[in-house]
A and B are shown apart, each in its own frame.
Chain A
Amino acid sequence: MSKATDTQSDTGESGVIESVSGPVVTARDLDARMNDVVYVGEEGLMGEAIEIEGDITTIQVYEETSGVAPGEPVVNTGEPLSVDLGPGILDAIYDGVQRPLDVLETKMGSPFLDRGVDAPGIDLETKWEFEPEVSEGDVVEPGDVVGVVEETVTIDHKVMVPPDFEGGEVVSIEAGSFDVTEAVAELDNGEEVTMRQEWPVRKPRPSVEKKTPRTPLISGQRILDGLFPIAKGGTAAIPGPFGSGKTVTQHQLAKYADADIIVYVGCGERGNEMTEVIEDFPELEDPKTGNPLMARTSLIANTSNMPVAARESCIYTGITIAEFYRDMGYDVALMADSTSRWAEAMREISSRLEEMPGEEGYPAYLAARLSQFYERAGYFENINGTEGSVSAIGAVSPPGGDFSEPVTQNTLRIVKTFWALDADLAERRHFPSINWNESYSLYREQLDPWFKENVTDDWDEIRQWAIDILDEETELQEIVQLVGKDALPEDQQLTLEVARYLREGYLQQNAFHPVDTFCPPEKTYLILTATKTFHDEAFDALDAGVPVEEVQAVESVPQINRIGVQEDYEAYVEELKEDITEEIRGLY
């Protein structure tokens, strides 16, 4: 939604400012509905009506309000906060209300964000080559695809009949070069389909039904794919204290997840992190297609110092864009970093409204808002008959790293995958510092058939083996803390040794190493088999009377930790297994 594309802004009612307090402004005599977009003050700052009491309307303003005074006008657009949907969303970077940041830089002529400058979410002048997929005389319904344009090298953008159209017979359609506002198809009832649609961000786009997700979203991260997988259409939360690697994990997912489209929402986080994404993604290759990553990515950057109300809306902007591509039949993954900042934005606005606070000052509707957001994820049958998915992965930043706080708790009640980041692991530079005892994935069983069919038959068995060893290690560590490792029986010492390789060679993964950063499921599996070979051979040797020190000293075993960095890992693992077997058998 933007002033630049809105033709009705002059017809709306207008009022006057009554009071100003930070991002919250009240206006008198404004005939607005809840969530209508309004323009505030002489400068026309964008805002949204969030409370109506008598003839006083309370507005949250998406820009700085310094200098705005009572008596200045407020104009209502009569439209809810909406996003522009159409080709041009990918490879773009937006603020929280879908203003393209690159366009803002040009328009403002300054690297600093000025106020009252607006720009449409998608460029209105770019011409796109339209290829029809239906012919004159065909009947189309809402949601149906009438043609495609090549949005980026990776993605064909399907031009759909908007969901709020009636549909009918196509009376005119032809290939050619169009901008997003020109009609590409005309229907017999007079409706004109353009490439551009508008959709209110707080309203989910319609679908036929939500299905059970059965395909994993492969992330290339061993601990995620191997132990705590997320499904395409699934939901996940990554809570962790500062410095535990939330953002790196989110970035890794954005880079390597095998989704068709990535929507990355930087919600109230650091400016430099967004810059890193902007600089890196055009250079990096999409592992699926080999094209630049940006060709499948849309970025929403509302950094912590940008206006707080726009932070509240950026999550909705992101998920609406995700749903739009889902409607085309794509698998979309949305990363929200961080949902805590979003919740805090709600808290800040709520406290300025002097609402009765719930837990820790958060508004009482916090849980409802969080679940509404995550419920917009899922594996869907779309209204045009295609299937598409939106996977939502939200980082959570609990104060003091305490998971009992409201945002983490309310999130955990909804999401089905929980990747718990751990400050202790991070301090030991165990990355990704995902705690394997606390994390869980409820998708594990429903995704096993896929892994068995596409990777290996014994995927679930060897995973269980690894989990058992790690569980045993956790128990043994408690004893070790009391009596020392050498006081344990030999077989337990050996279990600890195996667990150490699982931790160092399997669970740890170097996001900054060119090879190790992405680990296909086959490699994830092979690392486990190599570790298990060591486990099986070592225990056989122990049974045959070989002292545990000698088993531990086997020279080839530490190479398990180097499988991750091998490009030609299959041959390496094969050879390594042979070496381990040979060396250990040589001991007895």
Chain B
Amino acid sequence: MKEYQTITEISGPLVYAEVDEPIGYDEMVEIETDDGRTLRGQVLESSDGIVAIQVFEGTSGIDRKASVRFLGETLKLPVTEDLLGRVMDGSGQPIDDGPEIVPEERRDIIGAAINPYSREYPEEFIQTGVSAIDGMNTLVRGQKLPIFSASGLPHNNLALQIARQATVPEDDEEGGSEFAVVFGAMGITQEEANEFMQDFERTGALERSVVFMNLADDPAVERTVTPRLALTTAEYLAFDKDYHVLVILTDMTNYCEALREIGAAREEVPGRRGYPGYMYTDLAQLYERAGRIEGRAGSVTQIPILTMPGDDDTHPIPDLTGYITEGQIYIDRALNSQGIQPPINPLPSLSRLMDDGIGEGLTREDHSDVANQMYAAYAEGENLRDLVNIVGREALSERDNKYLDFADRFEAEFIQQGYDTNRSIEETLSIGWELLSSLPKSELNRVDEEFIEKYYLEDDAETAEVTAD
């Protein structure tokens, strides 16, 4: 391995060095500084005679005399089942004083794309115990469902609740594959990190978790690697070791900021709001690493968390994410200030894979109809609220008032449940019917007549319109 002392330029996170042998694109690099530190980096651009290197730990302390070593291979992560229970930093070095990791294999962290032909369509219901998700935006195994949040909102509590409670009801009976959590933190504060770690330790979840921590004061460039380490681990556990893996990535906004930083340092032509034009492709290469594969028992389910700058979902980060992921869960500031826990706003939220994961034999026959009807009813109630502010409740018809009441009860009884309540899908749906039964039967035009017969609670209906049949 050749050593070079040929650095020509240092700029932001980038180092340019002259070389006299061909260096591969994406190849790993070690840079040794005067004071004996070894920094790691990766080749971003390779031309005849000169390479651009992005340094994960940041370039401070590097001078033109620093020596550069090219390792001749792309970034690889040692993987083994023993990673479960371990805590690593953002570049994959253990930080938990545990034993040395003896790898079973070393995997390239830039995962290859799953052949769409080899995928298996996700349709196994995951019960998160959260009504607003299970009932209205059902999560299935192999899905990527991000949480769209914003500063000051309790997205971490929700993520933890999901990590604690997520089960697949059938597996409880049959004892299917094991469940594991891979947690990738990018640029979160020490305090947030403690919150996660304490919860993992308190609930005993740590022993079935793998944690990668890049904290707010860790180098930003390292953040571009952290989610790839997490996903490489997840793929290994899922597709080689048959685990059902839930990957929580937080906060994707910090990841994208790091991409922008590198793009700017390379003087690339920026896309929207200064983010690189390839951000869609880059994010897709992370999010698309969720899924199921035919003939493999495990699965990778992703819950990335992102905070929308200025609560704006047209910002490039949530926007591009929404176009790649299979739906999104919105955390709502207004609901949060009302004290609703978890403050999920189901109206803009969506689970694209819901329709195939619910219904007879999966959850319950009436699930889809109930969810559709509640959506429509809550949306109608929401709509009327604006009107009430202008004309007052008295000016509205009896029908409109019923919808307003529905919307209020929906928030207070269906969405509100607290972070420690674990509701089964049966409970969720029966709360749904309780609420729907406050509307006259004739309004339930999205529910099959057969289900109305079976589930509609007549007692409540007495107060409803007499014309209901």
Residue in A closest to B324 when the chains form the complex, CB atoms: A304
Does A112 contact B112, Cβ atoms closer than 8 Å? yes
Does B355 sit within 8 A of A, measured CB to CB? Answer: yes
Chain A interface size band reads 35 or more
Q: Which of A366-421 contact B (CB under 8 A)?
A: 397, 399-402
CA distance A522 to B245 in the complex (A): 49
Residue in B closest to A21 when the chains form the complex, CB atoms: B45
Q: Which of A49-85 contact B (CB under 8 A)?
A: 64-72
Residue in B closest to A357 when the chains form the complex, CB atoms: B269
Tell me how far the C-beta of B412 lies from the nearest C-beta in chain A, rounded to whole angstroms: 21
Does A20 contact B115, Cβ atoms closer than 8 Å? no
Tell me how far the C-beta of B100 lies from the nearest C-beta in chain A, rounded to whole angstroms: 28
A residues near B315, Cβ cutoff 8 Å: 400
Task: Select A361's contact among B269, B287, B328, beta carbons within 8 Å.
Answer: B269
Task: Select A66's contact among B25, B48, B347, B352, beta carbons within 8 Å.
Answer: B25
CA distance A428 to B346 in the complex (A): 10
A residues near B118, Cβ cutoff 8 Å: 105, 111-112
Does B451 sit within 8 A of A, measured CB to CB? Answer: no
Interface string of A198-209 (1 = CB under 8 A from B): 000000000000
Tell me how far the C-beta of B395 lies from the nearest C-beta in chain A, rounded to whole angstroms: 5
A residues near B368, Cβ cutoff 8 Å: 512
Does A72 contact B22, Cβ atoms closer than 8 Å? yes
Does B230 sit within 8 A of A, measured CB to CB? Answer: no
CA distance A26 to B25 in the complex (A): 13
Does A268 sit within 8 A of B, measured CB to CB? Answer: yes
Does A354 contact B45, Cβ atoms closer than 8 Å? no
A residues near B270, Cβ cutoff 8 Å: 361
Does B467 contact A553, Cβ atoms closer than 8 Å? yes
Does A351 sit within 8 A of B, measured CB to CB? Answer: yes
Given the contacts A351-B269, A485-B400, A112 and B74 also touching, CB distance less than 8 Å: no
Given the contacts A111-B293, A113-B113, A428-B376, A308 and B386 also touching, CB distance less than 8 Å: no
CA distance A26 to B368 in the complex (A): 53
Residue in A closest to B117 when the chains form the complex, CB atoms: A101
Task: Select A71's contact among B48, B278, B376, beta carbons within 8 Å.
Answer: B48
Does B57 sit within 8 A of A, measured CB to CB? Answer: no
Given the contacts A101-B117, A270-B288, A278-B116, A486 and B395 also touching, CB distance less than 8 Å: yes
Does A303 contact B116, Cβ atoms closer than 8 Å? yes
Residue in B closest to A361 when the chains form the complex, CB atoms: B271
A residues near B372, Cβ cutoff 8 Å: 429
Tell me how far the C-beta of A529 lies from the nearest C-beta in chain B, rounded to whole angstroms: 20
Residue in A closest to B120 when the chains form the complex, CB atoms: A275
CA distance A242 to B111 in the complex (A): 26
Interface string of A465-483 (1 = CB under 8 A from B): 0000000000000001111
Does A111 contact B115, Cβ atoms closer than 8 Å? yes
Q: Which of B1-53 contact A (CB under 8 A)?
A: 22-27, 44-48
Does A301 sit within 8 A of B, measured CB to CB? Answer: yes
CA distance A485 to B388 in the complex (A): 12
A residues near B352, Cβ cutoff 8 Å: 243
Does B419 sit within 8 A of A, measured CB to CB? Answer: no
Does B46 contact A243, Cβ atoms closer than 8 Å? no
Interface string of A275-310 (1 = CB under 8 A from B): 110110000000000000000000001011110100
Task: Select A67's contact among B27, B121, B320, beta carbons within 8 Å.
Answer: B27
Does B379 sit within 8 A of A, measured CB to CB? Answer: yes
Does A484 contact B395, Cβ atoms closer than 8 Å? yes
Does B291 sit within 8 A of A, measured CB to CB? Answer: yes
B residues near A399, Cβ cutoff 8 Å: 272, 314, 316, 319-320
B residues near A301, Cβ cutoff 8 Å: 116-117
Does A19 contact B45, Cβ atoms closer than 8 Å? yes
A residues near B45, Cβ cutoff 8 Å: 19-21
CA distance A19 to B52 in the complex (A): 11
Interface string of A1-34 (1 = CB under 8 A from B): 0000000000000000111111000101000000
CA distance A484 to B272 in the complex (A): 41
Interface string of A298-324 (1 = CB under 8 A from B): 000101111010000000000000000
Interface string of B284-327 (1 = CB under 8 A from A): 11011101011110000000000000000111100110111011
12 contacts between A and B (CB under 8 A): A21-B44, A22-B25, A22-B278, A26-B47, A113-B115, A271-B114, A279-B121, A304-B287, A361-B271, A427-B379, A504-B445, A555-B469
